[in-house]
Structure formats: C-alpha cells, structure tokens
Chains A and B, each alone.
Chain A
Amino acid sequence: MLFRLSSRLFWSAVTLLGTAVLTFLLVNAVPGDVARVIAGPKASADVIKAIHTKFHLDEPIWKRLGYHLNDLAHGDLGQSFVTEQPVAEAILTRLPTTAAVSALAIVMWMLLAVPLGVLTAKYSGSWFDRIVLVLSTLSLSLPAFWLARMLQYSLSYKLGWFPVAGFRGFSHLLLPAATLALLTVGYYARLVHSNMTEVLNSPYIRAARAKGASETAVLFKHGLRNAMIPVITVLGMDVAGLLGGVLFVENVFALPGIGTLAVQSVFNLDVPVIMGTVMFSAVIVVGANLVVDVLYRWIDPRIKSAA
C-alpha cells in the first residue's frame, strides 16, 4: 500500500512536470512580440529592450524553460504582463468564485442524476427510461455558451427570476450553476443508470431480495452504494471537462472566476497568466485523480493493483 502510494505520487509529479514543459513550449509558440503587448504599440525601442532583459525574452528557449521550472518549483507562477499582478494571487482571488459555482453545480446535477439513474435502472426499457435517455442525450448536445445565453435571456432578462450578470452574492451563482448542471446531468444520469443496471443484475442483490429486504433497502442500501463507486471515480477524473464548461459559463454571466481570467489572458497574450491557469487546472486534475485513486482502494479493498 505504501509502495503503491509513493509510486502514484511519483507518477503524479512526473505528469505535472510533463504538463509544465508541454504548456511552456506550446504557449511560447504563440505569436506576437510579448514586449509589444506589455508596453503597447507606441513604446520606444529602449523600453522594449528593457522588457526583453527583464523577462529574459532574448535568451534561448531552453534557458527560459529552466527559469520557468525553477520558479514553478518555488511556487512562483510569475506575474501578469498586463496588470503586473502575481499570477498565483490572481488565480487565488478568483478561485472562491469558480469553486463555489462548480460545487453548487455538482450538488445540483447529482441531486437530479442519482434519482433519475436509479429509477431508470429499476424501470429499464420502459417509456420513462427511454424519455430520460433522449433528454439526457439532448443535455449532452447543448453548447455551454449557447445555453448560458439562452437561460440568461429568458429567465434573467425576460422573467427577472435571477440577476442577469456580475457577482454580488449567492443569488448571482444560481443560474450559472444551474446552466452547468443542465449541461452535465444527462451524462451522470446515464452513468448512474448503467452502473446501477449492472449492480441490480448481480447475485448479492438477488440474495438481498431473497432474504426479504424491502425494495427501498435493496435499491439504495445494497444497490446504489455499490453503483456510486465508479460514478465518484468519473467525477474525480472529470474536473478537466468541468473547467471547460466553467470557462464559457463564467464569461457569459461575467463572473470574476478563473475561466474569465483564462479567456482574457488568451486575448491579451498574457503568457504568464495563460500558463498559470493551465498549470493550476493540471494540478487540480492530477490531485483529484490521486485522491480518487487512494479513496477507491480504501472504499473497495478488492481492487489491489490493477495497474
């Protein structure tokens, strides 16, 4: 177990290092003289030169990669070219908003997806199951930016049920979170459904029924608890996908979160912020994978070392 854990930790570190190198190479291929972006189009040659020396822009790329990795190792993500704010600070001040929207969204879609998945598994093949299947597929097929705009227009602007945009309190988070939840609920409803179907066909469920357990006990105590293990795993691995949706939804609702920061930085060619947000999301994803992996082994001791 200790060996497994240390080997997992080692590979997580390798993955993060690889991601750091990949993003550095990728982002530094982005065109445009960064010094021009910082100083503006009318800056004199001296100013441009000073900026080049300050950010080591004249040095060969492998040397800059070295500086970058050294900084990362010290937890330094650099500072924004545009606002000169330290990137780590920019991300951390925006983290609570993004975390709150994401957490609220996860709660919302889980509250919907779990009952839907259980019921469709119990009444598998019925018209109810088929309708939920088609609606789930529809929810998978909605573009985040479009759904966000439509809901914003109809529910906030026309009906006035929610604030239109911005962030001044909890109520401003409701519609963005609901948008994210609607985009994802279909996928999780199917996931719970297929795991639940598999569990309900297993011998121990027949045994539970045979000993006279009530249907509720069979479904929720024996069935759901086992069906949820793979669902939680997917949830842990799905953080990258969630961030993709958050990016669009935050932009439409003008929430000051990490997604808005990422899109702004791409348009401003703000290289340190781009790399910072990508690295940050990589850390979150790798961390979530690690936690899920460890939890998984602890919840279900049958899984020992299946690579």
Chain B
Amino acid sequence: MSKHEPSNLQNETQGWFFEVLHNRLVMAGSCILILLVLSALTAPLWVKAGVLRSPIQQFPTGLDEDGMPMSASGQFYAGTDNLGRDVFSRVIFGTRVSLTVGVAAMLTATLIGVMVGVIAGFHGGKLDLLLMRFTEMNMTLPAILLAVAFAGVMDGRILHLHPSGLPWHWLDVELKRGMASLFLIIGLVCWPGMVRVIRAQVMAVKEREFIMASRALGASDSRLIFHHILPNIMPTVIVMAVMLTANTIMLEAGLGYLGIGVPAPAPTWGSMINDGQPYFITAPHLVIVPGAAIVLTVLAFNLLGQGLQEMLDPKRKG
C-alpha cells in the first residue's frame, strides 16, 4: 500500500475551497495579498503608461520654495520626500522589494528548518540531540542582532571558495549588499523557529500504523520521508511558512530602517522611514505612509496564517 490515503481528491479539493470562502480571516488576508502582488507585478507598466511616476526620479516640482518635502496633494497622492521623489510611487515599488525578499527568505528558512526538523525527528537519538542543541544555540541570539552582524560582512569584497592555487574563479562569491544577500541573511537567521514544531510533528507521524506498514513492506528511509511523512506534515509547514513570511518582511523592514538593507536608491519601506525621520515634525507622511504599507503587508500574512491554522485545527481556534 504505497498510497496511504485513498480518498476522493476532487471532493477534498472542493471541501477546502468552500472552507476558504467561509473563513473570513483567510479571505481578508488573501484579498490584501492579491492586491499587493498585483500592484507589485504591474507597477512598471503603470509607469510606462504614465499613470505612476518613476520611484527614483527627483522632481523639481516636488519640493516647496524652501526645498522641503511636500505633503499629499492632487499632484502627488502621498506627498514627496526630501529629494522631491513621489512617495506613493516609492511605496508601490517598495512592495516589489519587500515581497521578493520576504518570500525568498521564507523559502530559505523553511527549507533549512524543515530539513533539520525532519532529520532530527525521524532519526532521533544522538543526531537529534546534536541538531536540537545547535538549533537552541541559534535561538539564543536575537534575530535582528544576528542579521545586523551578517549584513556587516557584505562590503563588496570577494570570498574565494576555491582551494588556493587553483584558478577556479567561477567559485568566487562577491559579498555585496543587495536583494540576494539580504534574503539569504534573513533566511539564515529565521530557520530555528520552525524546527521544534516540525520535529514534534514528524515524531508523531512516525509512530502511526501506515508508517509501520510501509516499513514492513521494505520502504527505504528516503521513501518514508518523501512519500509518507512530508505529505502529512505539509499543512503545518504551510501555516508556519505563511506566518514566517510576516516575520521575514518585518526583519527586512527593520534592517532597512537601520540603514543596512537593500542599498539606495532602491525604494524599500524601512529605508524610507529611516530617511524620513529627520523631517517627521514637518512632513509626518514620510514615516506614516511606508509604515502603513509594512503594517498592511505583515497583517495580510498574519491573517492568512491565523485563518489557515483555524481551518487545520478547528477545535483549537487561535
């Protein structure tokens, strides 16, 4: 019996679909997310069509007589920043950075977290002990402090991964701050949070009869893991991954706020708040607008995660 759950797939999918429609949290979260993803994807098209201004162009009309940022008006929907750039357009383009970095970091962290959790839970014994201690070590460091230290390494120098003496320059890695290094940093910092839950789930699934049955039929460890255990813990992984994305986006914003995120002139929400702070008293929109964008995005992922969790485990809401 290789297919452990003989079920009517179509019925199951339909059931899920109706449940999604009925869960208001899931609906609210996914509606906001669809809107955000759409605006992120289509932003360059709007600029081409002339509806949206370029996010990095500095407009002379965007500064008042004293050269100060202007608040919202009919011309600039969310005002301008200290360089005369359109805040509304920058916030829209910031969605691209936030979502890309956030989702890529989530995938990195999920991959590592699930791998460590599954190996620890499935293997048990000494390896389990070792992996869990290593995870705990990583958990003792505040994520933001760790990410700050990591981000400091990215200064444009070249890391030679090839053995000295061999001219394998394709193995050289340039340590440069950008979207790629940023999502790797955040991913490397965020994985320990997943391990415990995944490990506990794997340990529970491992003891069920169908695992024993396929083991008795001679299934290999990798077959057990990939065909039987992973599909069974997938719902948990998805809920945790959605909630993790809220964290990775928050961390990206925090690093941008500290001035060590994706470098200028790329529009990121965190760096917009950082740049806007000195003008807060006269132009509070420079802080309010990008902050609201962060709240909306993180809220969307949290609502979606919360709702999916309820669907998964209806008797324990919350």
Question: Taking A137-B299, A157-B281 as contacts, is the C-beta distance between A266 and B143 under 8 angstroms?
Answer: no
Question: Taking A31-B157, A141-B299 as contacts, is the C-beta distance between A19 and B141 under 8 angstroms?
Answer: yes
Report B95 CB to chain A, min CB distance, Å: 15
Q: How far is the CA of A262 from the CA of B149 in the complex (A)?
A: 11
Q: How far is the CA of A288 from the CA of B178 in the complex (A)?
A: 36
Q: How far is the CA of A281 from the CA of B137 in the complex (A)?
A: 12
**A179 contacts the other chain (CB 8 A):** no
Report A94 CB to chain B, min CB distance, Å: 15
In the complex, chain B residues 43-95 whose Cβ is within 8 Å of any chain A Cβ: none
CB-contact partner of A190 in B146, B250, B318, under 8 A: B318
Q: How far is the CA of A145 from the CA of B316 in the complex (A)?
A: 33
Q: Are B139 and A31 in contact (CB under 8 A)?
A: no
Contact code string B288-318 (vs A, CB < 8 Å = 1, else 0) = 1001001100110011001000000000111
Q: Name A's B-contacting residues (CB within 8 A).
A: 11, 14-16, 18-19, 22-23, 26-27, 29-32, 120, 124-125, 133-134, 137-138, 140-146, 149-150, 153, 157, 190, 193-194, 197-198, 240-241, 243-244, 247-248, 262-263, 266, 269, 274, 277-278, 281-282, 285-286, 289
Report A280 CB to chain B, min CB distance, Å: 11
Question: Taking A124-B317, A137-B299 as contacts, is the C-beta distance between A281 and B141 under 8 angstroms?
Answer: yes
CB-contact partner of B316 in A19, A133, A140, A197, under 8 A: A197
Q: Which residues of A contact B145 (CB under 8 A)?
A: 243-244, 247, 262, 277-278, 281
CB-contact partner of B291 in A143, A157, A240, under 8 A: A143
Q: Are B133 and A141 in contact (CB under 8 A)?
A: no
Q: Are A194 and B280 in contact (CB under 8 A)?
A: no
Report A138 CB to chain B, min CB distance, Å: 6
Q: How far is the CA of A29 from the CA of B298 in the complex (A)?
A: 32
Report B160 CB to chain A, min CB distance, Å: 14
Q: How far is the CA of A18 from the CA of B138 in the complex (A)?
A: 9
In the complex, chain B residues 239-264 whose Cβ is within 8 Å of any chain A Cβ: 246, 250, 253-254, 257-258
Main secondary structure of the interface of A (DSSP, over half): helix
Q: Are B299 and A240 in contact (CB under 8 A)?
A: no
**A-B contact sample (15 more), CB < 8 A, given A30-B152, A146-B287, A263-B148:** A18-B137, A23-B149, A133-B318, A137-B302, A143-B254, A146-B294, A194-B316, A194-B318, A197-B316, A244-B142, A244-B144, A244-B145, A248-B257, A266-B148, A269-B152
Q: How many residues of B contact A (CB 8 A)?
A: 45
B157 — nearest CB in chain A belongs to which residue?
A31
Q: Which residues of A contact B149 (CB under 8 A)?
A: 23, 26-27, 30, 266, 274, 278
A132 — nearest CB in chain B belongs to which residue?
B318
Q: Are B133 and A14 in contact (CB under 8 A)?
A: yes
Q: Which residues of B contact A15 (CB under 8 A)?
A: 133, 136-137, 140
**B207 contacts the other chain (CB 8 A):** no
Q: How far is the CA of A88 from the CA of B152 in the complex (A)?
A: 23
Q: Which residues of B contact A281 (CB under 8 A)?
A: 140-142, 145
Q: Which residues of A contact B146 (CB under 8 A)?
A: 26, 278
In the complex, chain B residues 102-142 whose Cβ is within 8 Å of any chain A Cβ: 133-134, 136-142
**B5 contacts the other chain (CB 8 A):** no
Q: How far is the CA of A121 from the CA of B11 in the complex (A)?
A: 33
Report B296 CB to chain A, min CB distance, Å: 8
Q: How far is the CA of A16 from the CA of B133 in the complex (A)?
A: 11
Report A262 CB to chain B, min CB distance, Å: 6
